[in-house]
Amino acid sequence: MADPIPSRSFNDPARQAAALLVRLGLAVLAVGVPTGSIISRRAIFTLMPVGAALILIGVMLDPKGAHLARLQAALFRPLGLVTLFLLGWALLSLVWTPFIAIAGERYVKTAGTLLFAMVVSIALPPHSKTSNLYLLPLGLAIGAIATTILGSLVSADGVQDLEGSTLDRAALTLSMMVWPALAALAVRDRWMSAGLLAVAVAVAVIAVWLPSVLGALAAGALVFSLCNSAQLRVGRMFGTTIAILILCAPAIPFALAPLMRSAPHGFAISMQTAETFFTAEGLRLIAGHGFDTFTRGLQMGYLPSAMPRNIIFEIWYELGLLGAASAALVVWTAFWVATAYLPKPLTGFVQGALVCGFILALTGLVTLQIWWLTILAVAGILFTLVAKGQYRTQRPAAKSLSASALRPQN
């Protein structure tokens, strides 16, 4: 009688090394990023490329898999094409930006981060191991506990210094990375653990005390709850609403003008400033002023300090109508992909993350800053990991099993 052939080979050093590197890279992203952000504001600029590079090297070491074919297929899908067009238009706008040297350097960092994250997401192994998925909630739990402790100590002493800014970034990091971590628990039916993790992140944000982040998390949670009953309708509604807000940003100050003229401070002044600016721009709104001109203009006094600081006005000022239309299409396509292609348990978390991130960008806490885009890139990689951790097989029916077992064997 011949010896049984093992169904799985344990003598493949290349595959074992590849799996180890992928796990190390995921550990850097899932555990290192939320915990490292508490220690240093710039830790993510080191951790993200190191973790992503380890994953990419590990994937390339695996002899199985058509990596180039998968990359080409993903880039030529609607979301990939629209994203590439937006990056291409931003690159072209460097021709007329007044800060070409600084803007060019920032563009390379921004586009490189996003494209690197796209490549790593596409290259991830087609089946995620359960042990890799559990790295996400582990890292978030450690980060939330540490942020809560440090936030309480800073608040108790009344200290408002660089450490406070570091904790703010840590809380913003938690607010975006919590969504793939919750999804990783949900796809394994660990709903109790997911609820405890969500509470831990909320407590951490309260300890740092960022009301805008709490509001964004609450809005994301509302979207997630609505998706349980009508995910397709909810996805279309929020995707269309956000796309319209981006496209119609120049009309918002004019629409609010009758309500704002009687209010002398705050939001009313920023809307009146935006109304004056858009009136004077004219045809310049078609092409914009060029990549990275909004922040530089505020810093150097070219723009009034009361100009609204949020992502939709920044996109219009820098990239104009074509950039705003591309950004709106990217958002709408992202919601469409979440509802049409992602597994059902994952859809609500992705839509919640999209709404949460957009609200944070509207508040002005984050816009197109590189550290924020890097956080979004990490969250995208981790969401892809969770999507590839879904069960893809179905057990055969009990009836067919019993019939085959009773069938006489020759």
Tokens standing for residue 301: 């006094």
- C-alpha distances in Å from residue 149, one per residue of 11, 40, 44, 156, 199: 46, 16, 21, 11, 15
**pLDDT value of residue 400:** 39
Kindly list the distances between the CA atom of residue 81 and the CA atoms of 72, 78, 86, in Å, as whole numbers in the listed order: 11, 5, 9
In our burial notation (b when 16+ CB lie closer than 10 A, e otherwise), range 246-258 reads bbebbebbeebee
* Residue found under tokens 């299409």: 329
Residue 49: predicted pLDDT = 94
CB-count exposure of residue 323 (10 Å: 0-12, 13-18, 19+) = buried
Nearest 10 degrees: Cα torsion 326, 332, 338, 340: -110
| Tens-digit pLDDT profile for residues 136-170 | 999 999 999 999 999 888 754 444 443 447 889 99
Contact 162, 355 (CB under 8 A): no
| SS3 of residue 253 by DSSP | helix
Helix (H) / strand (E) containing 53: helix 43-61
Render 286-353 in DSSP notation, one character per residue.
TT-S-TT-HHHHHHHTSS-TTS--SHHHHHHHHHHHHHHHHHHHHHHHHHHHHHHTS-HHHHHHHHHH
Q: Which residues of 277-300 are buried (b: 16+ CB within 10 A; e: fewer)?
A: bbeebeeebebbbbbbbbbbbeee
Angle between helices 191-208 and 135-157 (to 10 degrees): 30
Cα(first)–Cα(last) distance of the chain, in Å? 18
Cα–Cα distance between 374 and 173 in angstroms, integer? Answer: 10
- What are the mean pLDDT values of the chain's consecutive 10-residue runs (410 residues total)? 49 78 95 92 92 91 66 78 94 93 93 93 86 94 94 62 69 96 93 96 94 95 89 90 94 84 74 87 89 89 85 93 95 91 86 95 84 94 88 44 44
Alpha helices, DSSP H only, in 77-190? 78-92, 100-123, 130-133, 135-157, 162-186
Dihedral (Cα; 77, 80, 84, 90), 10-degree rounding: 130
Token pair belonging to 319: 């990239």
C-alpha span between 116 and 16 (Å, rounded): 24
Beta-carbon contacts of 24 under 8 Å, excluding residues fewer than 6 positions away, are 54, 58
Q: What is the Cα–Cα distance from 376 to 64, expressed in whole angstroms? A: 29
* pLDDT for residue 219: 96
pLDDT at 64: 61
What is d(CA 17, CA 20) in angstroms, rounded to the nearest whole number?
5
Q: Tokens for 396?
A: 């055969």
pLDDT at residue number 302: 84
Q: Report d(CA 45, CA 275) in Å as an integer.
A: 37
Q: Which of 379, 328, 333 is nearest to 357 (CA)?
A: 379
Amino acid identity, residue 12?
D
